[in-house]
Amino acid sequence: MNGKEIIQRSVVVEGHRDIYEALYHQGLGEQNPIREVVARRLIQCGVDVCVYAVCGDSYSHTNNTGRYVETAYENLDLVRSEVERANDTLKLILTADDVPSAPEPGITRLLLHFEGALPLGGDLSHLRNFHRLGLRSLQLTWNLRNEIGDGIWEERTKGRLTNFGLAVIKDLNRLHMVIDLSHLTPEGFYDALEATEGPLIISHSNASAVYKSPRTIQDEQIKAIASRNGLVGILAIARNVKANGATLKDLVDHLEHMANLVGVDYIGLGLDFTKYDGPRTLKDRHHPNKQLVPIKDFEEIEDLPHLAEELQRRGFKNTEITKILGGNYVRVLRNVL
């Protein structure tokens, strides 16, 4: 069985994709940028579920306006309006029953996500209203500081979660929403671990033991996520894979390390592809010499069969590859939602 055949027979979950590409095409005049540009590619490439970061803490998430709360509502309206016009080719995941148990050719389901809590504006009522509009996943921080805690670029502070952050986690648990600990300082990570008992995820990160960067995580963090029956999604941004010239094989080194550490049941796909995002504002470029360069032979979702085939070459069984492609995510989403 080749890579394409494995994908066709698997529920494929892309654990992190930003709305940047859709906002870029909306700015160019496209009337249905999610359906006609983003979802069209996801459907063609066999993606059954996409965790879609419709807003967050980056300036680009606000369509370069800096209006975090207002733009979150606007972006949610954009997504919901497109889903309503999509003739069932694009659907939202709102409950556990919406998570597919088998591949669904011709359909992509979106799990709506915020990559950071600035859109909450420090007010739990916004979280509840966003949930009413379909939000089902929250990443506590992006790279910088917000009302919940400190992102990884603030690691010098060794900041833990704020009182508001703990209140947010309590509400996320009550609302049965996914809690994503990507980008969080280690201190904030363990704070969140202590504050909740359910499965947690780190949607897009790699292993510090293979290559250390600000966006990789320690073995103890990977073990902690596995102990909660959660998962870690691998990240396909070159600067978080290897110092120079990162390849797909280098990325699979991270995945293989995690599998050897905790087993294949706790690994998924975060990926965070950036190839089609369009230009990013300078306000988000805090490391100008380390731009978001994709892995040269694994640049977007159409390259996913290459990952499946590399896993085969490493000795992973097809049943294990199916778990990594999405089976593990299906388990976690059903458990949380």
pLDDT tens-place string over residues 104-149: 999 999 999 999 999 999 999 999 999 999 999 999 999 999 999 9
Domain-located, residue 3 = no
Domain-located, residue 2 = no
Would the pLDDT of 288 be above 70?
no
Cα gap 199→331, rounded to integer Å: 10
| Closest to 215 measured CA to CA, from 152, 284, 294 | 152
Task: Quote the strand ranges of 57-185, DSSP E.
Answer: 90-92, 108-115, 135-139, 178-180
Question: Which pLDDT score, from 0 to 100, does residue 289 have?
Answer: 43
Q: Print the domain residue range for 206.
A: 11-336
The pTM (predicted TM-score) of the whole model is 0.96
What's the CA dihedral at 230, 235, 241, 246 to 10 degrees?
140
**pLDDT tens profile 144-189:** 999 999 999 888 988 899 999 999 999 999 999 999 999 999 999 9
Phi and psi, residue 27, nearest 5°: -65, -25
Give me the CATH number covering residue 225.
3.20.20.140
Cα gap 280→257, rounded to integer Å: 32
Question: Which pLDDT score, from 0 to 100, does residue 280 have?
Answer: 73
Would the pLDDT of 284 be above 80?
no
| Contact call for residues 180 and 202 (beta carbons, < 8 A) | yes
Task: Quote the strand ranges of the chain, DSSP E.
Answer: 13-18, 49-56, 90-92, 108-115, 135-139, 178-180, 201-202, 206-207, 216-217, 231-235, 267-271
Domain-located, residue 304 = yes
The whole-number average pLDDT for the span 232-237 is 97
Would the pLDDT of 285 be above 70?
no
Cα gap 112→99, rounded to integer Å: 13
Domain-located, residue 5 = no
Mean residue pLDDT across the chain: 95
Cα gap 115→49, rounded to integer Å: 17
Domain-located, residue 6 = no
Cα gap 30→26, rounded to integer Å: 5
Question: Token match 């420090």: residue?
Answer: 122
Cα gap 56→59, rounded to integer Å: 8
Domain-located, residue 174 = yes
**pLDDT tens profile 17-27:** 999 999 999 99
Phi and psi, residue 202, nearest 5°: -120, 100
Question: Which pLDDT score, from 0 to 100, does residue 53 have?
Answer: 98
Looking at the structure of the chain, the number of domains it has is 1
Domain-located, residue 1 = no
Question: Which pLDDT score, from 0 to 100, does residue 283 have?
Answer: 73
The DSSP code sequence of 172-240 is HHHTT-EEE-TTB-HHHHHHHHHH--S--EE-S-EETTT---TTEE-HHHHHHHHHTT-EEEEE-BGGG
